[in-house]
Amino acid sequence: GAGVSQSPSNKVTEKGKDVELRCDPISGHTALYWYRQSLGQGLEFLIYFQGNSAPDKSGLPSDRFSAERTGGSVSTLTIQRTQQEDSAVYLCASSHPPSGINNEQFFGPGTRLTVL
Partner 1 sequence: AQSVTQLDSQVPVFEEAPVELRCNYSSSVSVYLFWYVQYPNQGLQLLLKYLSGSTLVKGINGFEAEFNKSQTSFHLRKPSVHISDTAEYFCAVKPFGNEKLTFGTGTRLTIIP
Residues that bind partner 1 (CB under 8 A): 3-4, 31, 33, 35, 40-45, 48, 50, 56, 58-59, 91, 93, 95, 98, 103-110
Nearer to partner 1, 12 or 81 (CB): 12
Nearer to partner 1, 12 or 43 (CB): 43
Among the listed residues 107, 114, 115, the one whose alpha carbon sits nearest the alpha carbon of residue 6: 107
Instruction: Quote the CA–CA distance of 15 and 30 in Å, as a whole number.
Output: 34
Q: In whole angstroms, how close is the CB of 50 to partner 1 at the nearest point?
A: 7
Distances (CA, A) of 73 to 12, 58, 61, 70: 26, 21, 24, 6
Q: In whole angstroms, how close is the CB of 96 to partner 1 at the nearest point?
A: 11
Provide the CA 45 distance to its chain's centre, in angstroms.
9
Nearer to partner 1, 18 or 85 (CB): 85
Q: In whole angstroms, how close is the CB of 17 to partner 1 at the nearest point?
A: 25
Nearer to partner 1, 52 or 103 (CB): 103
Instruction: Quote the CA–CA distance of 99 and 104 in Å, as a whole number.
Output: 11
